[in-house]
Structure 1
Amino acid sequence: MTTTKRTQIGTDSEDTAFTTARPRLFAIAYRMLGTRADTEDVLQDAWMRWHQADQSALQSAEAWLITVVTRLSIDRLRAAKAEREAYGGWWLPEPLVEAESNAPTPETAVELAGDLSVALLWVLERLSPEERAAFLMRQVFDQDYAEIAALLGKSEAACRQMVHRASDRVQQDRPRFDVSDDAHRDLLERFAEASRSGQRDAIRALLADDAHLVGDGGGKVPSFARIIQNAEQITKIYCELVRAMGNVRYQHARVNGEPGLLRYVDEKLESAQSFVIENGRIVGIYVVRNPDKLAHITA
């Protein structure tokens, strides 16, 4: 009861400070946790702690909030690890989707600043919670090692080692290729048209020989029990969907800050898809079909 009362009587300046920092806090928590619900829960918990804190003693409101949100995210991710190990199939992050035509708001621009791609978050799932935090704070949010050490309660040397290990793992599992939005969108336009009409040769021509596909159905809709690592099989999957479903439509959208596709079957959203492109071909496809992760996406 005490907590509820204190959160209700926060001053305007307290609320303004939190609101100003909120886009950055969302960006940190989402990259740590990969779901909107967990992110919002962490931000709510941080907001309550913010109103309980002696703010007159704080040197920097934003630094304090970043520390609290990061530590809360580490704790929540530790708890989520067991749940994700028991998850029905492969676990992919809940996609953040915007219409291609929408210009990002200043708040959204902060949330999406830096790499937010589904492919990166997929790789980060292999890191420990503290490694993930150290990597993100250094490589995405450009914190210095003294700040990371204070945030994690470790020595600077230990934090440098964590970031180095995490960076090696990320580079090994997901090489970084810079592709312009225009080139990315153009390739997806051709892929969507070929997939919509079931043009086998056209689909195959857009896939690298070693392309892979990861599907997330969450145990609630059919998906793949293994990662598909064969361009011919991926081509067959997209062609068979058209034959089996008939009324398939693709819509362009920004998925986690990058050009992606929403697939509709009989005008019902069936999946959100992200792509990794190298040398003009698709090398990775991440398909989120779990309806719980699609529920927030509007047409």
Structure 2
Amino acid sequence: MEAARAGADAGGRDALARRFEAHRGRLTAVAYRMLGSRAEADDAVQEAWLKLGRTDPGTIANLGGWLTTVTGRICLDLLRSRTARREQPIDETFVPDPVIGSLAPADPEQEALRTDSVGVALLVVLENLEPDERLAFVLHDMFAVPFDDIAPVVERSPAATRQLASRARRRVRDATPSSDPDLGRQKQVLDAFMAAARGGDFDALLAVLHPDVTLRADAGTLVRGAAVSKALRGARAVAESALLFARYTAAAQQVVVNDSLGLISVVEGRLTSVMAVTVTDGRITGMYILADPERLGRLEVPGRTG
């Protein structure tokens, strides 16, 4: 009898684990948009699994909805804690953790994941929202979670939660640069940028950069605020920076960064930088460089071991 009961319990856990895995991709997407870090997103999803293990599944009418809101609540707590610990507001050099993908031809499932991805530029904007605004916007606008389900998480009425999302939506709309989604056109622009930087051609750099281009370069918390805490703006300033760091461009290779093309630099087997770009009307309008050694060490790079 005991053995039969243990076997039934194990079978129930296995079935529950399979049901959870069916939702993992969506939960990871929610957590990544909330936290801007794939590593933290994976931790949040794992915590959601642990919470599920402590809950009677018979009391859950909609497992997917339950897991989504639980994951959202975990992320909200992390964001609130992060905000409380932060001594200074995020400056203009901050770049969220990117997700690096291969340029190799993707199968339909991989291509669908890329199309459904979120750009680094949008993550920068989300990082500047208040935690409750971010949750309401991400869950409702990106994952179609009803306001009635979000309201208990942020401890507000559905109407007040709707206002949170509306406020966040305006901020996102006003601050997120438009971007050409076509990887082929992006590649033409990125090829031109790399050729100009490697060749030291200042005029060619100016031609491929939008006059109002913005460059964020995040080297980590040890230097953030100590030297440069402002983004570079304008084609001339960004072109001068590109020439200054041309040796890194010489070692760079093109990859997919989140939802678009970008560059990684690997020196002696070590990832030294990741750059995401936004391209509009044949010119680069935004450049987002992560060069923080600690955070780079946690990133996964396709085809790289060790």
TM-score (normalised: structure 2): 0.85
Q: For 1:11, what is the secondary structure of its paired residue?
A: helix
Q: Select the residue among 95, 99, 123 that pairs with 2:98.
A: 95
**1:148 offset after TM fit, Å?**
3.0
**1:125 offset after TM fit, Å?**
1.2
Closer, same or farther: CA 113–180 of 1 in aligned 2, 3 Å: closer
In structure 1, the partner of 2:38 is 36
Cα RMSD after superposing both structures:
2.6
**1:55 offset after TM fit, Å?**
0.3
In structure 2, the partner of 1:45 is 47
Letter aligned with residue 75 of structure 2: S
Whole-Å Cα distance in 2 between the matches of residues 196 and 264 of structure 1? Answer: 16
Q: For 1:233, what is the secondary structure of its paired residue?
A: helix
**1:60 offset after TM fit, Å?**
1.1
CA contact (8 A) 2:72 2:139 kept: no
**1:100 offset after TM fit, Å?**
1.0
CA contact (8 A) 1:218 1:290 kept: yes
In structure 1, the partner of 2:273 is 271
Q: Does 1:285 align with 2:290?
A: no
**Which region of structure 1 is more displaced relative to structure 2, 88-97 or 275-284?**
88-97
CA contact (8 A) 1:204 1:231 kept: yes
Whole-Å Cα distance in 2 between the matches of residues 150 and 104 of structure 1? Answer: 39
**1:143 offset after TM fit, Å?**
2.6
Closer, same or farther: CA 280–163 of 1 in aligned 2, 3 Å: same
Closer, same or farther: CA 260–84 of 1 in aligned 2, 3 Å: farther
Q: Select the residue among 232, 236, 239 that pairs with 1:235.
A: 239
Q: Does 1:154 align with 2:149?
A: no
Closer, same or farther: CA 285–122 of 1 in aligned 2, 3 Å: same
1:18-37 matches, within 5 Å, as 18-37=20-39
**1:25 offset after TM fit, Å?**
0.5
Percent of aligned pairs with the same amino acid: 32
Whole-Å Cα distance in 1 between the matches of residues 29 and 209 of structure 2? Answer: 32
**1:272 offset after TM fit, Å?**
0.7
1:135-146 matches, within 5 Å, as 135-146=137-148
**Which region of structure 1 is more displaced relative to structure 2, 289-298 or 264-273?**
264-273
Letter aligned with residue 242 of structure 2: Y
**1:121 offset after TM fit, Å?**
0.6
**1:175 offset after TM fit, Å?**
3.8
TM-score (normalised: structure 1): 0.87
**1:50 offset after TM fit, Å?**
0.6
CA contact (8 A) 1:184 1:259 kept: yes
Whole-Å Cα distance in 2 between the matches of residues 206 and 108 of structure 1? Answer: 27
CA contact (8 A) 1:87 1:218 kept: no
Whole-Å Cα distance in 2 between the matches of residues 29 and 226 of structure 1? Answer: 28
Would you say how many aligned residue pairs link Structure 1 and Structure 2? 289
Q: Select the residue among 183, 196, 199 that pairs with 2:198.
A: 196
Q: For 2:232, what is the secondary structure of its paired residue?
A: coil
CA contact (8 A) 2:69 2:150 kept: no
CA contact (8 A) 2:118 2:258 kept: yes
Letter aligned with residue 165 of structure 1: R
Letter aligned with residue 226 of structure 1: K
Whole-Å Cα distance in 1 between the matches of residues 109 and 116 of structure 2? Answer: 14
> Gapped runs of 5+ residues in structure 2?
1-8
1:76-87 matches, within 5 Å, as 76-86=78-88
Q: Once the two structures are superposed, what CA deviation does each residue of 1:1-51 show, in whole Å capped at 9, x if it has no partner? A: xxxxxxx96711111011111111000001100112321221121111111
In structure 1, the partner of 2:173 is 171
